[in-house]
A and B are shown apart, each in its own frame.
Chain A
Amino acid sequence: MAAINRDDVAHLARLAHIEMSAEELDRMAGELAVIVDSVKSVSEAAGDDVPATSHPIPLSNVFREDVVGHTFTAEQALSGAPDSFEGRFKVPAILDED
């Protein structure tokens, strides 16, 4: 288990799309190091023969019939939008042209 450092946190913050100041990165790296250290025993707890459990109560084949249900009007869909234009959500440019 590698220790978690400031560069790791900067990379993770980029992946998670959370802007962080230098001070925040330092603080977060310190806190996460403690937390990661405290959970590391988990990786040694179970052997290869133990299956993973992703659902606490096992179910399977839960399906929906292919029948049309309710829809929103464009107005309802956009009711909480920070910005919109002509029935669509408006977002700033995707690429940085500079």
Chain B
Amino acid sequence: MSTDAILSFEEAMEKYDPVLGFEVHVELNTKTKMFSSAPNVFGDEPNTNVNEVDLGMPGVLPVVNKTAVESSIKIGLALNCKIAEYCRFARKNYFYPDTPKNFQTSQYDEPIAYDGYLDIELSDGTVFRVEIERAHMEEDAGKLTHMGGATGRIQGADYSLVDYNRSGVPLVEIVTKPIEGAGSRAPELAKAYVAAVREIVKNLGVSDAKMERGNVRCDANVSLRPHGRERFGIRSETKNVNSLRAVEHAVRYEIQRHAAVLDSGEPVIQETRHWHEDTRTTTSGRAKSDADDYRYFPEPDLVPVLASREWVEELRATLPEPPAARRKRLQADWGYSDLEFRDVVNAGVMDSIEETIAAGASASVARKWWMGEIVGRAKTADVDPSELGVTPETIVELNKLVEGGKINNKMAAQVLDGVLAGEGTPAEIVEKRGLAVVSDDGPLLEAIDAALAAQPDVAEKIRGGKLQAIGAIVGGVMKATRGQADAGRVRELILERLGVEG
């Protein structure tokens, strides 16, 4: 695998103006598939969530899932799109073993939703409008597993295995118009756009919206042009960029790569690129060729979808609060300052905090844990905070242990590490690691007496009313108990011992 030359991002930005485009595929969470009544369920035994339709058996016919159409209309409305009064499905013809009919049933030139927009708020509060060209309905393909070879990748595989459980799962593909003017904020905008789409479909309840499960998948188009030129450059399409951070990195990398190609005087090749999370680079996929003649034609086994205005308005009336409005409400409910709330949003933990509060924590406790402990660890582990593996229940349990005086904050952080290391529940880890706060006053008093005896001058100062000097004694006690004492209780006992009012 050869390594492509890249320019530094700053130099690329100095010389070129990026134009972006996104195709985001959203898997709907309907009970059944787009065109068959087989269950739409993730992760079961291979080839068990299928019937003859999903396997493309001879003689089968598709029937459209009404709920999938309604979900698609809701997505269109949430993206400020127009909803087509008349639209159809088409067949996209190409041979691939994960596609059981060797055509995909997909909308083509008659999408159910078109001409929308989404206002994206960047980290500093700047609002950037992304225009939506269309949102159309289609079906997912099966899953290929490449066997043999060293990498488990398609390259070098001896053979492949096909599981059609995912075949026919309803998808909505959301396509943007070319996004111009993002400049050096292009990578950030890319991430924020995909995050916004994900937030919308999750908020609508039409998708589980888990990127790690492929519920939301992004293809990112990048092209560069010299500053001041109107005509777009040749674009690359980076496929299946499947985390928010990867979207940002992939766009950044492609900008740097394109810039190096253009600088060398070579033309950019219009091609598919594959994103590699491990190296944070893309590699060349397939160039556009005449094999991309998909021979679209209207699907003769399906009839048109007519979305009456009454139906659309009925669906509009069921839409939940939009995410931007929701953010306003949550900030007010939680009592966070503007800065605190923006930090929470930028750190990507708003949903996690909401879930943690729903699980029983206070707003300040939830923020303390997510922003104080989890975000940092996620950064170290190089994953999104919500993907670190901390559940709201863990936080609630940890907090109860602290508030009940069982453990102190320092221990709680150790317990959290234990949870992440898979050692068990917080209570189990406290038990196993022997982390309970020493609450029997006997051993504490012994340690206090020793500390007072070791520093008689300090003891004298305290007796004399200089209470700020108490820290030296507390420190000595904590050291002697290896941090297992409750510092508050130690302070109380010292004052008691010296007969001073605290």
A residues sitting closer than 8 Å to B (CB atoms) are 11, 14-15, 17, 54-55, 58-74, 77-78, 85-95, 97
Contacts and interface: CB of A to CB of B under 8 A. Distances in A.
Nearest to A77: B47
B159 A66 contact: no
B55 interface: yes
A67 B66 CA distance: 10
Contacts of B469: none
A19 to B, nearest CB: 13
B161 A90 contact: yes
Interface in B131-166: 144-146, 148, 154-164
Interface residues of B, number: 53
Contacts of B214: none
Main secondary structure of the interface of B (DSSP, over half): loop
B50 A91 contact: no
Interface string B20-61: 000000000011100011110000011111111001000000
B64 interface: yes
Contacts of B64: 62-64
B37 A69 contact: yes
Main secondary structure of the interface of A (DSSP, over half): loop
Nearest to A12: B293
A60 B157 contact: no
B94 to A, nearest CB: 9
B164 A77 contact: yes
B300 A55 contact: yes
A55 B303 contact: yes
A15 B159 contact: no
A66 B157 contact: no
9 contacts: A15-B293, A17-B102, A66-B30, A66-B65, A70-B51, A71-B49, A91-B161, A93-B158, A94-B97
B38 A15 contact: no
B63 to A, nearest CB: 4
Contacts of B293: 15
The list of the 9 closest CB pairs from A to B, nearest first, reads A69-B37, A63-B66, A66-B67, A88-B161, A89-B162, A77-B47, A64-B63, A59-B303, A87-B46
Given A64-B32, A64-B37, 14 more contacts: A55-B303, A60-B305, A61-B304, A62-B303, A66-B65, A70-B38, A72-B55, A74-B48, A85-B161, A87-B45, A91-B97, A91-B161, A92-B160, A94-B146
B154 A71 contact: no
Contacts of A90: 159-162
B37 A68 contact: yes
In this complex, the member of B47, B49, B160, B164 whose beta carbon has the largest number of chain A beta carbons within 10 angstroms is: B47
Nearest to A70: B51
Contacts of B68: 66
A63 B65 contact: yes
Contacts of A78: 47
B290 interface: yes
A95 B155 contact: yes
A48 to B, nearest CB: 17
